[in-house]
């Protein structure tokens, strides 16, 4: 049973009626461009086939109820929440994510109550943006119940910003807008080249199969959490560096001016700046290669990105480093951690015929270190969020 059908059948069981509609949003893989979004930089994500579906129906009492069916088939439910009383910090745990979306939409005049039932297969804690998928599915559901039409490109960007605000201000996780924008705006068969500062974007064709290549996702099963990790510390560090340099953001530091800029900063901030500036350039380099159809040639940029995230930004983890090293040794053309770090997933660009060898090598390395077995899947660029 697919996720939408599961959400509908669970909705019937809980509420004894049919939902008014079902909306779904995907998780994402970020091909390259990590920790650049909150520095007004460049990112290059694509949406996954893995989705969270929201079956929804309106309520007339101004209250929001949310139930979610986990991958273990365990049902979790929130207490009914009065939409008019929602405020940051008022809802604990996972319920803060859908409640935060309702709070953000309330200020846009969308304040009707609703029953929501969520079901999905985006791995949680794997750095694949399950929280953004949830936020975007809930946002589309609440907007749909309010009679809003299927959003166009500009409206999708606005919804992504609202979902980001919910995560930043209501949940308290200081993330950038990459995840929500990927979930809302990606299209099948492409990576989304996004200039966060200007909002300009380009759908760049990304057909790995044409060159007999694959993007292998390695879920390390080392859970991560933006709100409980050093993510906020890194963000504050980059903001402090920009302030000391007298620029709006680190986007304004170019590779050729970076050495002089680093000389003006305290030692602890220099690695953060070095990563952001070099990572922005790597995104631009990868986009040029993809435009030219040279998918196989992006491997070195993936390797350099991981080294920068590990050594300069210091957001990697043992499980990520082992996965990347083992994948490369088994023939991967390039590999890197993806997502915010401190756990989660890595990706490897591989030849299709090397998949079994790469998976075996990573699994063997984990066994040697007595770590839980990793999980693998091939990532294919999928469509963004919408009504089912």
For residue 87, how many other CB atoms are within 10 A of its CB? 10
**3-class secondary structure per residue, 253-321:** CCCCCHHHHHHCCCCCCHHHHHHHHHHHHHHHHHHHHHHCCCHHHHHHHHHHHHHHHHHCCCCCCHHHH
Cα separation, 196 vs 178, whole angstroms: 8
What does the chain come to in residues? 388
Q: Which residues contact 69 (CB under 8 A, 6 or more apart)?
A: 6, 7, 10, 75, 117, 118, 119
**Sign of the CA dihedral with 68 first, then 74, 79, and 85 last:** negative
Cα separation, 53 vs 301, whole angstroms: 34
Tokens found for residue 231? 């993510």
**Sign of the CA dihedral with 235 first, then 236, 240, and 246 last:** positive
> Which SS3 state, helix, strand or coil, does residue 246 take?
coil
Tokens found for residue 159? 């919804």
| CB-count exposure of residue 329 (10 Å: 0-12, 13-18, 19+) | middle
Taking a C-beta distance cutoff of 8 angstroms, is the pair 265, 241 a contact? yes
Of the residues 37, 40, 115, 179, which is catalytic? 179
Is residue 297 part of the annotated active site? The answer reads no
Taking a C-beta distance cutoff of 8 angstroms, is the pair 104, 160 a contact? no
Please, what is the end-to-end C-alpha distance for the chain in angstroms?
A: 14
Tokens found for residue 203? 């759908």
Residue positions annotated with a catalytic role: 179
């Amino acid at each position: 049973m697919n996720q939408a059908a599961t959400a509908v059948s669970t909705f019937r069981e809980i509420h004894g009626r049919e939902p008014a509609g079902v909306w779904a949003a995907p998780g994402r893989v970020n091909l390259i461009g990590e920790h650049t979004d909150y520095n007004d930089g460049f990112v290059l994500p694509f949406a996954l086939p893995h989705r969270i579906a929201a079956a929804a129906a309106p309520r007339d009492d101004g209250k929001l109820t949310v139930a979610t069916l986990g991958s273990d088939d365990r049902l979790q439910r929130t207490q009914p929440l009065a939409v008019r009383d929602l405020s940051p910090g008022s809802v604990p745990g996972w319920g803060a994510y859908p409640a935060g979306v309702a709070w953000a939409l309330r200020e846009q005049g969308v304040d009707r109550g609703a029953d929501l039932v969520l079901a999905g297969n985006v791995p949680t804690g794997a750095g694949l943006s399950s929280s953004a998928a949830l936020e975007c599915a809930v946002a589309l559901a609440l907007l749909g119940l309010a009679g809003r039409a299927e959003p166009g490109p500009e409206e999708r960007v606005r919804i992504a910003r609202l979902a980001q605000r919910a995560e930043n201000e209501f949940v308290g996780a200081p993330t950038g807008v990459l995840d929500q924008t990927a979930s809302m705006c990606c299209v099948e068969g492409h990576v989304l080249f996004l200039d966060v500062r200007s909002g300009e974007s380009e759908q760049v064709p990304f057909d790995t199969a044409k060159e007999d290549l694959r993007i292998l996702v390695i879920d390390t099963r080392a859970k991560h959490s933006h709100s409980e990790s050093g993510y906020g510390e890194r963000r504050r560090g980059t903001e402090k560096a920009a302030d000391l340099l007298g620029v709006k953001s680190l986007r304004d530091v170019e590779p050729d001016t970076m050495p002089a800029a680093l000389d003006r900063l305290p030692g602890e901030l220099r690695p953060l700046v070095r990563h952001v500036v070099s990572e922005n350039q790597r995104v631009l380099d990868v986009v040029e290669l993809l435009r030219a159809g040279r998918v196989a040639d992006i491997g070195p940029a993936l390797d350099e990105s991981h080294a920068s995230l590990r050594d300069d930004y210091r957001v990697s983890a043992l499980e990520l480093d082992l996965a990347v090293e083992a994948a490369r040794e088994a023939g991967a053309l390039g590999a890197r951690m993806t997502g915010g770090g401190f756990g989660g997933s890595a990706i490897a660009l591989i030849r299709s015929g090397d998949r079994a060898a790469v998976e075996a090598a990573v699994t063997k390395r984990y066994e040697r270190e007595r770590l839980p077995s990793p999980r693998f899947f091939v990532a294919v660029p999928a469509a963004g969020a919408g009504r089912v």
